[in-house]
């Protein structure tokens, strides 16, 4: 997808003179309000290749004028709006390549996200949910439980818009092992997919192939959903009080709703012990749960890391570090500090580092005096990290210089290094090089055995 | 090395595969059939990768009437702490 980049001032000037109608991301707009929109976006991207813009003769002259203006000023002429790559396990079409095969190297994709751009991805067991900049939802991959939300139980090898959300603006999505969660701008929560453990929150253990609103939260404002293997967490809007809820399987304490062992629950219940924490993010994967507070504190509950026992209530990790991101695998957790350093909890299996490979093992005490191993990820040598992601047994990060690095289990090519070899420390994934600019942002997302990278070019 | 130890009650019966299954980190499913269990097999394998899990179950539960699967007694052997 190619776009022309116009700069705001020039566009404003010309637009006033010509009263042009542009098409941006498939949406036609014109007039003063739209010029404000243009200003907000710094530039407008006219997708001529996709045929969104059928200029009149006058507009063609304007376009020529703009192109000439740009050429004169030696501004960039043609850019891609975003670049998406996938690699790793492809057994259920989760790579979006249209094939059912693993890829050991990054494959570039063209996700027709209904004319919009991908703003964020959430990758589950073998399916992917893409949220576009316009709040639309596109899904692909395994659909055997209805987790794609298309109203059927079939897999989709290609990205496919979820028609159910026509007319909604979706603001947050999460893909679990075989279920999916969606939050709208009005704070409504919808779920679909496998409900065998009550993880859809509808009061039963049925599966749904269309998204269904979770009526328990009908009068509340949901901010986030996090879907794990067999459980879900919900974060409500606000700053204090009962804001985190859990439902689905609680076998390993991952719901955080009781000191005692619980089985599965199919209606949301409040997670206890977070009432006084100003939680801004929740995470779930495998049988693990985590939450981060605005103050940089990490809370974890559910299955124990590194062979430890299960934790039934959120435990704050006692540390002087300030955490800004957490990514959960099935046996490990990655933590990103405000300094751009990455630490790991657990990881005895594959997304791991063996004891001898840990460069800076540090012991931390969580509340309740349980000793927790927190290891600093080796091999980064002070490179600042901007973002982290974790698959079931592999890990990924994006550095300040927009490099994507991966390590851990590699059997399905999920490290994107061209082989199936495991790696004990972060290795650079070769993506088409593009010097980072203030307008570009690279992000990485991991599903159980696969990985996606998105480079946004503004 | 076994990827994990999983109690049979945590596995799901998959009608299509005619096997007990448990999620594999590769995205596929660890699988073991009732016939395997009756033979005392305790390894459930993933058809897509090299990983396997150890299934913790009570052999006697599978030697009798196989329709009693729903009410499995807790495994006789000490369940290994899963982590």
Task: Check if A303 contacts B (Cβ < 8 Å).
Answer: yes
Q: What is the dihedral of CA A125, A392, A399, A454, to 10 degrees?
A: -10
More confident residue, A145 or A351: A145
Interface membership of B63 toward A (CB under 8 Å): no
Pairwise CB contact (< 8 Å): A447 & B26: no
> Tens digits of per-residue pLDDT, A85-112?
999 999 999 999 999 999 999 999 987 6
pTM higher than 0.90:
no
In tens, the pLDDT along A180-222 reads 999 999 999 999 999 999 999 999 999 999 999 999 999 999 9
Closest chain B residue to A420 measured between Cα atoms? B49
Q: Give pLDDT, residue A265.
A: 96
Percent of chain B with pLDDT over 90: 71
Confidence at residue A183, expressed as pLDDT on a 0 to 100 scale? 98
> Comparing C-alpha atoms, which of A409, A396, A291 is closest to residue A342?
A396
Average pLDDT rounded to a whole number, residues B42-57: 96
Tell me the pLDDT band of A308, cut-offs 50, 70 and 90.
Answer: confident
What distance lies between CA A253 and its chain's CA centroid? 24
pLDDT of residue A272: 95
Quick check: A454 and A442 in contact, CB under 8 A?
yes
pLDDT at B55 over 90: yes
- Using only C-alpha atoms, chain A has a radius of gyration, in whole angstroms, of 23
Tell me: pLDDT of A358 over 70.
Answer: no
Residue A352 pLDDT > 50: no
Residue A360 Cα, gap to closest chain B Cα (Å)? 23
ipTM of model: 0.80
Q: Among B27, B46, B80, pick the best mutation site for testing chain A contact (most A Cβ within 10 A).
A: B27
pLDDT (0 to 100) of residue A218: 96
Quick check: A330 contacting B, CB < 8 Å?
yes
- What mean pLDDT, rounded, does chain A reach? 81
Q: What CA–CA distance (Å, rounded) separates A285 from B53?
A: 19
- Kindly state whether A142 is in contact with chain B, defined as any CB-CB distance less than 8 angstroms: yes
Q: Which one has a higher pLDDT value, A124 or A436?
A: A124
Chain B neighbors of A393, CB-CB under 8 A: 25
Q: Which two tokens stand for residue A435?
A: 């010097």
Question: Would you place residue A32 in the very low, low, confident or very high pLDDT band (cuts 50, 70, 90)?
Answer: very low
Q: List, for residues A314-328, the tens digit of each pLDDT value.
A: 999 989 999 999 999
The position carrying tokens 């004028």 is A65
Q: How far is B27 from chain A (nearest CA, A)?
A: 5
Q: Is A90 on the interface with B (CB under 8 A)?
A: no
A309 pLDDT exceeds 50? yes
- The CA distance from A274 to A180, in Å, is 24
Across the interface, of A91, A307, A331, the residue whose CB is closest to B48 is A91
Mutate to test the interface with B, among A177, A330, A348 (most CBs of B within 10 A): A330
- pLDDT confidence tier of residue A143, bands split at 50, 70 and 90: very high
Q: What is the pLDDT of residues A243-271, one digit of tens each?
A: 999 999 999 999 999 988 899 999 999 99
């Amino acid at each position: 997808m190619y776009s022309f980049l116009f700069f705001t001032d020039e566009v404003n000037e010309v637009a006033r003179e010509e009263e042009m109608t542009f098409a941006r991301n498939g949406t036609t707009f014109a007039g003063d309000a739209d010029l404000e929109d243009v200003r907000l976006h710094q530039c407008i991207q006219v997708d001529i290749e996709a045929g969104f813009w059928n200029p009149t003769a006058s507009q063609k002259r304007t376009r020529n004028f703009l192109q000439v203006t740009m050429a004169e000023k030696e501004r960039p002429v043609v850019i891609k709006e975003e670049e998406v790559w996938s690699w790793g396990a492809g057994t259920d079409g989760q790579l979006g390549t249209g094939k059912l095969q693993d890829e050991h190297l990054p494959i570039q994709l063209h996700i027709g996200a209904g004319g919009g751009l991908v703003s964020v991805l959430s990758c589950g067991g073998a399916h992917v949910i893409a949220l576009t900049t316009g709040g639309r939802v596109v899904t692909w991959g395994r659909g055997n439980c209805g987790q794609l939300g298309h109203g059927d139980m079939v897999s989709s090898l290609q990205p496919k818009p979820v028609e159910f959300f026509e007319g909604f603006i979706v603001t947050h999505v999460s893909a679990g092992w075989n279920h999916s969660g969606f939050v709208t701008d009005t704070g409504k929560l919808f779920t679909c997919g496998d409900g065998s453990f009550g993880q859809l929150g509808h009061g039963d253990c049925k599966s749904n192939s269309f998204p269904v609103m979770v009526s328990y939260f009908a009068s509340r404002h949901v901010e986030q959903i996090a879907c794990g293997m067999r459980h879900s967490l919900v974060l409500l809007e606000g700053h204090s009080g009962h804001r985190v809820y859990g439902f689905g399987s609680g076998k390993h304490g991952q719901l955080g709703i009781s000191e005692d062992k619980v089985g599965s629950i199919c209606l949301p219940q409040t997670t206890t012990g977070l009432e006084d924490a100003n939680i801004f993010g929740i995470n779930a994967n495998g049988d693990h749960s985590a939450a981060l507070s605005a103050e940089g504190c990490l809370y974890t509950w559910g299955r124990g890391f590194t062979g430890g026992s299960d934790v039934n209530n959120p435990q704050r990790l006692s540390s002087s570090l300030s955490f800004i991101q957490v990514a959960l695998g099935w046996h490990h957790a990655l933590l990103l500090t405000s300094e751009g350093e990455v630490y790991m909890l657990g990881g005895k299996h594959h997304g791991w580092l063996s004891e001898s490979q840990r460069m800076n093992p540090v012991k931390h005490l969580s509340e309740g005096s349980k000793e927790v191993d927190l290891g600093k990820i080796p091999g980064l040598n002070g490179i600042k990290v901007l973002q982290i992601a974790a698959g079931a047994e592999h890990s990924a990060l994006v550095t300040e210089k927009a490099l994507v690095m991966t390590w851990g289990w590699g059997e399905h090519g999920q490290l994107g290094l061209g082989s199936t070899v495991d790696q004990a420390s972060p290795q650079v994934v070769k993506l088409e090089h593009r010097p980072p600019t203030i307008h570009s942002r690279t992000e990485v997302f991991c599903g159980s055995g696969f990985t996606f990278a998105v480079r946004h070019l503004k | 090395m076994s990827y994990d130890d999983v109690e049979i009650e945590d596995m799901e019966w998959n009608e299509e595969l005619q096997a007990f299954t448990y999620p594999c980190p590769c995205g596929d499913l660890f699988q073991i059939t009732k016939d395997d269990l009756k033979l005392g097999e305790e390894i459930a394998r993933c058809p897509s990768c090299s990983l396997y899990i150890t299934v913790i179950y009570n052999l006697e539960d599978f030697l009798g009437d196989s329709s009693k699967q729903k009410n499995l007694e807790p495994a006789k052997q000490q369940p290994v702490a899963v982590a």
